[in-house]
Structure 1
Amino acid sequence: MELIILFLLLSTISYMVIKRNIGKITTTPIWLLWLALMSPPLIWAGWYMINPNQNSMPPILIFIPLLLSPLLYIWLIEIGKIPPKKEESDHQSPSTMENLEKSPPESESENKEKNKPPHPINAQEEKALRDCFPWGVYYLQKIDYLPQAILCMGKLMTAPEKAYPMVKNNLEKVFEDRFLVIFQETLQGQPFFALVPNPYSNKAQEKLPQEKLTRPGMALVLLLLTILTTTIIGAEISGVQVSELETNPFLILQGLPYSLSLIAILGIHELSHYLFAVYYQIRTTLPYFIPIPFFLGTFGAFISIKSPMPNRKAVFDVAIAGPIGGFLVTIPVLVWGLAYSKVVPMPEQINMLNFEALDPRFSLLFAIISKIALGSKLVADQAIGLHPAAVAGYIGLIITALNLMPVGQLDGGHMVHAMFGQGKALIIGQITRILVIMLALVRGEFLLWAIILIFMPVTDQPALNDVTELDNVRDFLGLLALILLITILLPLPPTVAQWLNL
């Protein structure tokens, strides 16, 4: 039942995303676009509902919808695509208007030239722009004017970490905070500079109402609600029935070990993101929890970053801080909870969410930690009846693994973007999606993961300096994080199982 509710929530979110982003560029009905995009998970979910006792789905039901769905989705967008409207510029100066009134009628070609959108900078500013690129730093070859950016194309003559701050400093002397200076690479690996209007400039902020980033009141209310919902779910995990809660409300306190443990794991995860974002002077909201009165009691927590990352180093540090912080809390919570857990007979049907009889062999890392915590009590063909605190730690492992998936806007996606660049990160994200779908064929509990990754945007927002590479220490930490992901997802190998007597 919980999976159905989660599926409905994901469906609602996807509908809202399509309506907000795609609905502006096509006349095709939103429900039809949603149906085309959702056809694979709808078919898969329907098959598992009809065949609940089977773990493997026919390959034709996997790959045919997966191949046809994006083609149908793109075709539906294209057949109803709204042609772009020609916008008239209203940025002409009074002197320009007077000259237009006094000038004689012009030819058709001249009129077309006049109707082109004006350059965001004048001739004098363009000359100053060219002077911002020293020959020995970045050899500027041409300037292209796009509707939303000025592209400066050329050849990089020095190290990226030296070129970007020097050019950025020169541009700020000329344009102050009028533009954001972005340093990126083309698909062929050629670095270029882009100047885009700065929404955070002093002039822009004067025209727009000030947005309040930190809402401590809302954050506190959501935290208290999440404590309540997770405590209720924790009491149910402890074996307390709803009827017992009605007669003795104090039984709800039995859910506190689960609730406080899970809140600590999620809170430290997001707080780590927040503190590193503040360190790099990135505009961000406080961590907000998402309470739900079913399933786990919460959908997790999040922060919303409101300004671009300064460089790939900041992208990496902010991304990896969350999984590391959450994992450092998860391990002691899991060991503590497992110490109070019971060893029970192995069930016939193995399920990753069966907290009353969980097979520890589904994960290499979980099996090793379980063996350390339970010792000789845990032997082969035995399952674990998880204590509520152990359930929270176990969920913490799953959350860590999901966040480390190197796809799009997940923490792992940010990390591979910072480590390898946007182009390679896009390829890694697509390969990861395919591997998780294949994993869902073998282990049906990963179907929800596959659905989440299908809806996850593959591309990540570029940093302002998206060319300068990471140092060796951060590359090594990123590889360790990916190894951690593998140890959580990899089943316990038979050889190691024999050695651990599991």
Structure 2
Amino acid sequence: MMGQESAQSPPGPERLADVFSVRDIDLTEGGIRYYGDPVTDAAQVIRQVGPTFRQHGYRVRLQSESGGHVLVATERSLGVDGVPWRNVALAAATLLSTLYAGTRWYGLSVVEEPAVLWRAWPFAAAVMGILAVHEFGHYALSRYHEVQASLPYFIPLPFNVIGTLGAVIRMQDNIPDRRALFDIGVAGPLAGLVATVAVTAVGVTLDPIYVAGGLISRIELGYPPLIQGIAALLGESLSYSDPNLLPNPVVIGGWVGAFVTFLNLIPVGQLDGAHISRSLVGERMDAVQLVVPLGLFGLAGYLVAFEGGRGAPLWGFWGVIALVFSRAGTATPLVETPLGPRRRALGVLTLVLGALCFVPVPIVVAV
């Protein structure tokens, strides 16, 4: 367990004079506030002063208060102080919600026999394992590049068929350059894909589950090329002549991993795909974010026109989400040094692998 790194004395006003005219300074616990006005374009202030503050052990942001501007510098902390109880509580809640979701995939009733909750542990382990590997991929590269980030926050979703909305980490720091932004962004999907392949390979070799009646028997999953390819390579099936036979719930965990990977690679806002794409195309990212919602709405329209609307609500919803996320902006590195050819190739490969996780109609509940 590591604590906060020791910060140096914060930069004096004279170090900021070229971009920010300081009128007053207020020392706070763990930081400092500079009141004044930008000398240059406000959007460029952080890029200009950010590297200086990082050298002194601070992260910085520019905000407006009472008609004026304030540079808020906060000491950076790269470690974990004490027990992260919020993370632990959310992980425990998500474990319970995924266990409950798993009982439905196994055809078990918690109402009739509460102890059967623990028999769904393979499903819960598959889903939470993939999510954890994904998020700790981000966390590890954040630490490597000395970018302050939180431990993963799991998001429970009781009574949902997968039991969770996924997991996130919070980057609470200025990103030093495009290489760091790329490495942090790409690490999660690649790590998650490795876990997804492993989980799916195990799952397709396990016995299918007999589930008669109930919601689960009416759910139709669309398996993306990645999942289908793994099953084909191992000579296993994903469908059965008996409609009451379903793939082992561990396979469903792999499906969750592929679905989450694709959604995370949509290039808008603060999603992984946006970090990767922003690193690859630089400030042209604004044009990319204009196209993405149109593509998602177009996909929803296609499904309405040619597939009876199956899957259309999902992509229509994500079209709205993409619009909202794009308005929130993407992570902006302090230095715009272009990526080298190896990172560019890896970025393209990651996006291609993400495409293998896509299926137009991922899930449908049959009436």
Aligned positions, number = 308
1:322 maps onto 2:191 in alignment: no
Q: CA deviation at 1:251?
A: 1.4
Structure 2 counterpart of 1:151, one-letter code: T
Instruction: Give 2:94's match in structure 1, choosing from 217, 220, 226.
Output: 226
For residues 367 and 383 of structure 1, do their structure 2 counterparts lie closer, same or farther at Cα, with a shift above 3 Å needed?
farther
User: What secondary structure is seen at the aligned counterpart in 2 of 1:199?
Assistant: strand
| Identity score, percent | 26
Higher RCO (C-alpha under 8 Å, 6+ residues apart):
2
Q: CA deviation at 1:147?
A: 5.9
1:149 maps onto 2:67 in alignment: no
**How far, CA to CA, are the matches of 1:179 and 1:366 in structure 2?**
42
Counterpart in the other structure of 1:200: 74
User: What secondary structure is seen at the aligned counterpart in 1 of 2:108?
Assistant: coil
**How far, CA to CA, are the matches of 2:282 and 2:168 in structure 1?**
25
Q: Which structure's CA Rg is the greater one?
A: 1
Instruction: Give 1:400's match in structure 2, choosing from 238, 261, 265.
Output: 261
1:331 maps onto 2:231 in alignment: no
User: What secondary structure is seen at the aligned counterpart in 2 of 1:470?
Assistant: coil
For residues 342 and 260 of structure 1, do their structure 2 counterparts lie closer, same or farther at Cα, with a shift above 3 Å needed?
closer
Structure 1 counterpart of 2:321, one-letter code: I
User: What secondary structure is seen at the aligned counterpart in 2 of 1:244?
Assistant: coil
**How far, CA to CA, are the matches of 1:176 and 1:340 in structure 2?**
54
**How far, CA to CA, are the matches of 1:178 and 1:376 in structure 2?**
54
Structure 2 counterpart of 1:412, one-letter code: G
**How far, CA to CA, are the matches of 1:253 and 1:228 in structure 2?**
9
Instruction: Give 2:149's match in structure 1, choosing from 284, 287, 293.
Output: 284
Q: CA deviation at 1:460?
A: 0.9
Counterpart in the other structure of 1:294: 159
**Unaligned stretches of 5+ in structure 1?**
1-119, 130-145, 153-163, 183-195, 206-210, 345-352, 493-502
Contact persistence 1:357–1:383 (CA under 8 A): no
User: What secondary structure is seen at the aligned counterpart in 2 of 1:299?
Assistant: strand
1:439 maps onto 2:304 in alignment: no
User: What secondary structure is seen at the aligned counterpart in 1 of 2:165?
Assistant: strand
CA RMSD of aligned residues (A): 4.1
Instruction: Give 2:103's match in structure 1, choosing from 221, 235, 248.
Output: 235
Counterpart in the other structure of 1:217: 85
**Unaligned stretches of 5+ in structure 2?**
1-11, 21-34, 42-46, 63-69, 304-310, 362-367
Counterpart in the other structure of 1:471: 340
Q: CA deviation at 1:198?
A: 5.3
TM-score after normalising by structure 2: 0.71
Q: Deviations over 1:425-466 (max 9, x none)?
A: 11112212211111122142433322322321352131111x
Deviates more, 1:257-266 or 1:446-455: 446-455
Counterpart in the other structure of 1:429: 289
Structure 1 counterpart of 2:318, one-letter code: W
Counterpart in the other structure of 1:312: 178
Structure 1 counterpart of 2:253, one-letter code: A
For residues 392 and 356 of structure 1, do their structure 2 counterparts lie closer, same or farther at Cα, with a shift above 3 Å needed?
farther
TM-score after normalising by structure 1: 0.53
- By percentage of residues, which structure has more helix? 1
For residues 439 and 294 of structure 1, do their structure 2 counterparts lie closer, same or farther at Cα, with a shift above 3 Å needed?
same
For residues 359 and 177 of structure 1, do their structure 2 counterparts lie closer, same or farther at Cα, with a shift above 3 Å needed?
closer
Contact persistence 2:175–2:334 (CA under 8 A): yes
Contact persistence 1:408–1:456 (CA under 8 A): yes
**How far, CA to CA, are the matches of 1:179 and 1:342 in structure 2?**
52
